[in-house]
Amino acid sequence: MPRRRTLALAAIGSVAGLFSGLFGVGGGIVMVPLLVLWLSYGEREAAGTSLAAIVVIATAAALTHGAYGNVRLTEGLLVGLPAVGGVLAGTWLQQRIEPRTVRLLFAGLLVLTAGELILG
């Protein structure tokens, strides 16, 4: 693996990890576009690879929060269990629509999230 590529992956991981810890997200919102824009990933590969990284990142961040006593199991299951059903549907759907559409949907997600953050 070329050194530059490894450095890019390290940078993507560091930024994603920081956002994950700061905002309670997986970090996919930064990993997916960076994998596409920096490392020329296709939209589907970026999504799949991002999800694999999120397993590791969210586990580490949740454990750290656990040490502070912030994690609520019941509420986590209430939103998380329906989401597991949703992710099966979403992944299935993603294989059947144009990668360009996925990309534009992702841009829409970024704008919505930014608006939500600014408006609080």
Q: Is 70 in the site for another protein (CB under 8 A)?
A: yes
**Distance, CA of 49 to CA of 41 (rounded, Å):** 10
Q: Is 38 in the site for another protein (CB under 8 A)?
A: no
- The residue among 87, 16, 6 whose CA lies nearest residue 58 is 16
Name the DSSP letter for residue 71: -
Subset of residues 7 to 36 that bind another protein, contact rule: CB under 8 A? 9-10, 12-33, 35-36
Greatest Cα-to-Cα distance within the chain, rounded to the nearest angstrom: 45
Q: Is 107 in the site for another protein (CB under 8 A)?
A: yes
Q: Is 55 in the site for another protein (CB under 8 A)?
A: yes
- The residue among 118, 117, 23 whose CA lies nearest residue 61 is 23
Which of 3, 49 has the CB closer to another protein?
Answer: 49
Residue 99 beta carbon to another protein: minimum distance, rounded to whole angstroms: 9
Do 29 and 35 touch, CB atoms closer than 8 A?
no
Query: What is the dihedral angle through the alpha carbons of 31, 33, 34, 37, rounded to the nearest 10 degrees?
Result: 160
Question: Of 2, 3, 4, 68, which one interacts with another protein (CB under 8 A)?
Answer: 68
Contact pattern for another protein over residues 71 through 90, marking x by CB under 8 A: xxx-xxxxxxxxxxxxxxxx
Which of 4, 92 has the CB closer to another protein?
Answer: 92
